[in-house]
Amino acid sequence: MAHVVVLGAGLGGLPTAYELRHLLPKSHRITVISDKPQFTFIPSLPLVAFDLTPLKHVQLDLERLLKKRDIDLILGTVTHLDPHHQEIRVGDRALQYDYVVVSTGAALDLDAIPGLGPDNGYTHSVCNPHHAELARDAWQEFERNPGSIVVGAVPGASCLGPAYEFALLAEYVLRKRGLRDRASVTIVTPEPYAGHLGIGGMADSRQLVAQLLQRRGVEVIENAEITQINEKQVILADGRSVTFQYAMLLPPFLGAQFLRDTPGLTDDKGFLPILPTHQHPDFPSIYSIGVTIQLPTPEVTPLPMGAPKTGQMTEAMGMATAHNIAVDLGVIASEKVGSNMEAICMADFGDSGLMFIADPVIPDPVTHQRRRAVALAGLWISWAKAVFEVYFLMKMRLGLAVPWFERLGLRMLGMSSLVRSLQPQPETSGAVTSQKTS
């Protein structure tokens, strides 16, 4: 009997645990370790910050989900990982593992810039449930005395979509509540241009984003290096300052502290190197998915930025990982697979939305092209994201990972299988296409 431990119970960890339970006979033990008792649908946290949905509506109780599926749950913070002896410590408790899946999500580098908050600074974030609730409380106070809003990211941040979503949701909420004429909205971003998103843009994303921000009266400061944040000001490297009454700035991500504390396991930011199978190159019993993996940036930018690792990408990594562990254990007579690293990002702006598809997120190293790059705009995307939230929470309640009908839906969007063969494929020729729908 093997013991497979999944570290983290978020968008990557929980579906991966479900897929492992689906693939592995009950003689194999599966344990999920989480530092929080709830699963949270993180993409909906901007809605929580604006009090458009209660936090409890996007959370599920992990004990209830896992107990009836023969998956063990340990609540606590991992303090030590010994890859040589295959041991994990959670407080005073030690666990031996045969395989471990690292899906801990992001630790936030809130010390990257003086004054970066919310814990010991002046800004807010929507990167975790606690921060979203703090952002909501501050927003309620802001509505009583509106003023200038600054939204964006500091150098080194990745996954810029939530910044645009937050800024445009703020503009939408202010309009709906009759406060728009009393507030300004400014985006401050390290991107070379708005719509770059840390991956060099997709299709006409630059044009779509610029037009949308102009229509909404949102100012943008591009290629902006934030060096300090005071109580009411964001200070830039070129000497400019931007005054705010309310600020939401995305911080850079790090790997979890216990990962950074393990010699030889990660890079200096705590991200794990992976083989195409998602295994660590030096410790084959360790698999890694989601934010925790090393992922090169698609291009060098004047200011440092991280490459985004979206929820859909993370799910695909989890499906490949579960398959490969089943192969390791002899449950599946198959070759190992990799994930396709195709990214879908949906941003809800209240009465509009944007969807970006990067296939794959990292372009071909030779041609510097993607198979497909798509930018879509319209009110239907706002509806689609709301429907997807309901769907994702439903499948987590039902104990499903990526069921056949979801895979069919992805294929209808033009996405290939979530996993890919690692065997050499015959060369094919064909043009790379970019698409835009508005």
- Active-site annotation, residues: 159, 345
Contact 253, 259 (CB under 8 A): no
Tell me the longest C-alpha to C-alpha distance in the chain.
65
Pairing label, strands 184-188, 253-254? unpaired
Rounded-to-integer distance, Cα 123 and Cα 116, Å: 6
Rounded-to-integer distance, Cα 258 and Cα 251, Å: 20
User: One-letter amino acid identity for 268?
Assistant: D
Task: Tell which residue, 196, 170, 195, has the closest CA to residue 184.
Answer: 170
Rounded-to-integer distance, Cα 161 and Cα 295, Å: 17
414 φψ region: left (φ > 0), alpha (ψ -120 to 50), beta (else): left
DSSP-assigned states of every residue in 155-199: TT----HHHHHHHHHHHHHHHHTT-GGG-EEEEE--SSSTT-TTT
DSSP-assigned states of every residue in 262-301: STTTS-TTSPBP--TTSB-SS-TTEEE-GGGB----SS--
Rounded-to-integer distance, Cα 22 and Cα 400, Å: 9
Rounded-to-integer distance, Cα 310 and Cα 179, Å: 33
Rounded-to-integer distance, Cα 136 and Cα 161, Å: 19
Residue 4 φ then ψ, to 5°: -110, 125
Tokens of 197: 């998103």
E strand intervals along 365-428:
372-377, 419-421
Angle at 314 between CA 1 and CA 282, to 5 degrees: 55
Is-cis flag, bond preceding 43, omega within 30?
no
